[in-house]
Amino acid sequence: MTTATRTGHAPPAPLRARRPLRPARVVLHVFLAAVAIGWLFPILWAVLTSLRSYEYTAVHGYVSLGGWTLDNYLTAWRTAEFGRHLLNSVYITVPAVLLTLLLASCVAFVIARFSWKANLVLLGLFTAANLLPQQALLIPLFRLFTQVPLPAFMSDSELLYDSYWGLILVNVAFQCGFCVFVLSNYMKALPRDLYEAAMVDGASIWRQYWQVTMPLCRPALAALATLEVTWIYNEFFWATVLMRTGDKFPVTSSLNNLRGEFFTDNNLVSAGSVLVAIPTLVIFFLLQRQFVRGLTLGASKG
């Protein structure tokens, strides 16, 4: 675009609105459309299926139209008790995200602002933990959790196992690595002068962290919070293996309630999946900007 202005004899802006249609451009757009449809197709298919009655699709097959109904949504909501399980998801997600961000920002602050020998090792440790396959830790964690007692007022299981506390801890532990990595890179990019000025004014370390760094990190924290809410909300594995009481399952695990012992109504499961996906979609559309920023955050070191 700028090349036109540089050559000097570019026509005024309104006149150069249409560019000639080149084959490469056509190919590009066909490709983009195909990819977009490829990504959207499963979701649209699920939505379409969820709006049709099982009786109709059983007779006419899924490649047909008709049998429209909203009953699947009502049934899914009721049989899988999504109301209760969504609340369970909130119990796990909200504290886990807040705790992750708090702890990660503390570590990131130290890594970014103080130069001491273990700095790189510390960052490496947190990042490496990210690469560890979670499933490999199942047995040790499971045994650990069945050995750690909790007082009865914290969990009726009286153990870390089968308690919200345990799930929150697991999620915090697994998400901290990524957040530390992102936040420390972000904090390193903050101007040093600020801290020098703060120190001259006699601000303590805590103050430098809480009142100087944290407000400046707001965009990074917002982006991370968006990502983390989605990830922790979507988390399914730990919630299935470290929970024993069906009523305490978060909404992702309780989606299984829609599968029958012998018979699974796929239309009903589709409706349930759409319901479960809605909160993530809402978060995404509300905080789209943060979301996209979150993806590139920490990619470059300021």
Partner 1 sequence: MSRPRSHAEYLSRLVPPSVAGLRRRSLLAGAAGGGVLLGTGLLAGCGDADPEGSGSTTVSLGSNQSDPKPKEVTAKVMDGFRASSGITVAVNTVDHNTFQENINNYLQGKPDDVFMWFAGYRMRFFAGRGLAADLSDVWSGLSGMSDAFRKASTGDDGKQYFVPSSYYPWAVFYRKSVWQQYGYQVPKTLGELTTLAAEMKKDGLSPIAFADKDGWPAMGTFDILNLRINGYQFHIDLMAGKESWTSGKVRTVFDTWRGLLPLHQPDSLGRTWQEAAQSLQQKKSGMYLLGLFVAQQFRDDEQDDLDFFTFPEIDPAVGAKALDAPIDGYMMARRPKAEDNARKLLAYVGSKAAADIVVKNDPSTLVANSEADTSGYTALQRKAAELVGSATEIAQFLDRDTRPDFASTVIIPALQQFIREPADIDGLTTSIENQKKSIFTD
Question: Which residues here bind partner 1, judged by CB under 8 A?
Answer: 58-59, 79, 139, 142-143, 146-149, 151-152, 156-159, 161-162, 240-241, 244-247, 249, 253-254, 256-257, 259-263
- Residue position matching structure tokens 């006149």: 15
| Closest to partner 1 by CB, 55 or 196 | 55
Min separation Cβ 93 and partner 1, Å? 20
Residues 146, 148, 154: CA angle, nearest 5 degrees: 105
| Closest to partner 1 by CB, 115 or 135 | 135
Residue 174 and residue 133 in contact, taking contact as beta carbons nearer than 8 Å: no
| Closest to partner 1 by CB, 166 or 294 | 166
Strand, coil or helix: what is 201? coil
| Closest to partner 1 by CB, 69 or 266 | 266
Residue 264 has φ and ψ, to the nearest 5°, of -120, 120
Question: Alpha-carbon distance 301 to 57, whole Å?
Answer: 54
The sign of the dihedral angle between the CA atoms of 182, 187, 190, 191 is negative
Min separation Cβ 190 and partner 1, Å? 44
Min separation Cβ 61 and partner 1, Å? 10
Min separation Cβ 157 and partner 1, Å? 6
| Closest to partner 1 by CB, 211 or 240 | 240
Q: Could you tell me how far CA 258 lies from the centroid of its own chain?
A: 24
Residue 76 has φ and ψ, to the nearest 5°, of -60, -45
**52 pairs with which residues across the strands?**
68
Min separation Cβ 240 and partner 1, Å? 6
Question: Residue type for 266, please?
Answer: N
| Closest to partner 1 by CB, 91 or 291 | 91
| Closest to partner 1 by CB, 54 or 291 | 54
Question: Alpha-carbon distance 186 to 208, whole Å?
Answer: 15
Min separation Cβ 176 and partner 1, Å? 25
- What six digits make up the tokens of 112? 């970014």
Residue 153 to residues 49, 78, 89, 150, Cα–Cα distance (Å): 44, 29, 20, 8
Min separation Cβ 235 and partner 1, Å? 15
- What six digits make up the tokens of 178? 């990524």
